[in-house]
Amino acid sequence: MESDQVRSGFVALVGRPNAGKSTLVNALVGSKVAIVSDKPQTTRHRLRAIVDTEDAQIVLVDTPGLHKPHDALGEQLNRSALHALSDVDVVCLVLDSAAPVGTGDRWVAAHVAASPARKVLVLTKADLPSPTPIERRMAAGQELASFDETVVVSATEGFNMEGVLTAVSSLLPQGPRYFPRDMATDQPEEVLIGELIREKVLWFTRDEIPHSVGVAVDETRVDESRETTFVRATVYVEHESQQGIVVGSGGTMAKRIGTAARGDLETLLGTKVFLDLAVRVKRDWRRDSAMVERFGYGEGS
């Protein structure tokens, strides 16, 4: 009789903001479950993503980038990421291999070293040029903690995803499949909808705007023919000047954000999407831990 035991367990990806953790999660899972941008602190809550193979079920835990916090939001993000270190089987320290190892990496690595989990060093962005040979970059990373395995990957090129899966599953215990085999993420649809909208704001804006944006999904409703989903959402910013930027002159920026988000939402939901997007001011919400929690960012989520 076929055994229902496989190699299974929880695998946290931690690292500095922008290291490439969420891009790696999407590449490993093979679908877009985590949002990605070139702005630091893109990920604001821990999320689980499931890689299911014939002989393993790997539950990836994507975490917010660890950084020096400046406000209540930043503190929540760090707490959320550090919490993930304490109750997983494997921790992957994700390093941007194109950037030199810095104080931030050493600080993150000290936390990784203190975790009881097995450890994998993942050097990502191997497709980017670097003046330092890869062997030297690997050696610099390996000095940060005691790792069971080291892998070099490019998540955007899909290079060596097998290497990560093999390294990680070799360190997992025998156990049950924790999630249904066809489930890609444990995120509720509504959360993913809000995140996909926030991602587009991050893509198209600069300076303080990406950090100041929170998205609330107010309503989602499918019409009777199940052909169209109506989504009503609010983009919150912290100041009137930011509201002006996100709306844009004559509403051009809001339209650009809405159009890009609608494309992703249609892929996610498998229906046409009618997106009604409002932009409102919630003054200094990032400093207010109750607001941070209400948006669903941080530890509890």
Ligand X SMILES: Nc1nc2c(ncn2[C@@H]2O[C@H](COP(=O)(O)OP(=O)(O)OP(=O)(O)O)[C@@H](O)[C@H]2O)c(=O)[nH]1
Site for Mg ion in 40-99 (CB under 5 A): 42-43
φ/ψ of residue 145, rounded to 5: -165, 180
Only one of the segments 38-46, 193-201, 216-224, 263-271 lies at the binding site for ligand X (rule: CB under 6 A); that segment is 38-46
Q: Which helix (H) or strand (E) holds 280?
A: strand 272-281
Least separation in angstroms between CB 22 and Mg ion? 3
- The answer to the question of residue 22 lying near ligand X (CB under 6 A) is yes
Asked if 236 and 194 count as a contact pair (C-beta separation under 8 A), the reply is no
CA separation for the pair 293, 255 (Å, rounded): 28
Total binding residues for ligand X by CB under 6 A? 24
CA separation for the pair 270, 57 (Å, rounded): 26
User: In this chain, which of 12, 28, 37, 108 binds ligand X, going by CB under 6 A?
Assistant: 37
φ/ψ of residue 280, rounded to 5: -130, 160
Least separation in angstroms between CB 287 and ligand X? 20
- The answer to the question of residue 125 lying near ligand X (CB under 6 A) is yes
- The answer to the question of residue 97 lying near ligand X (CB under 6 A) is no
- The answer to the question of residue 20 lying near ligand X (CB under 6 A) is yes
How crowded is residue 166: how many other Cβ atoms within 10 Å of its Cβ? Answer: 13
Site for Mg ion in 4-23 (CB under 5 A): 21-22
Query: From the list ligand X, Mg ion, none, which binds 19 (C-beta under 5 to 8 Å, kind-based)?
Result: ligand X
- Strand partners of residue 96: 124
User: In this chain, which of 130, 150, 156, 234 binds ligand X, going by CB under 6 A?
Assistant: 156
The SS3 call for residue 140 is helix
Least separation in angstroms between CB 101 and ligand X? 15
The SS3 call for residue 174 is strand
Only one of the segments 37-45, 102-110, 245-253, 280-288 lies at the binding site for Mg ion (rule: CB under 5 A); that segment is 37-45
- The answer to the question of residue 68 lying near ligand X (CB under 6 A) is no
Least separation in angstroms between CB 191 and ligand X? 15
CA separation for the pair 14, 16 (Å, rounded): 7
Q: What is the dihedral of CA 68, 36, 127, 63, to 10 degrees?
A: 50
Residue type at 237 in one-letter notation: V
Asked if 212 and 192 count as a contact pair (C-beta separation under 8 A), the reply is no
Q: Which of 17/248 has CB closer to ligand X?
A: 17
Binding site for ligand X (CB under 6 A): 15, 17-23, 36-38, 40-43, 64-65, 124-125, 127-128, 154-156
Binding site for Mg ion (CB under 5 A): 21-22, 42-43
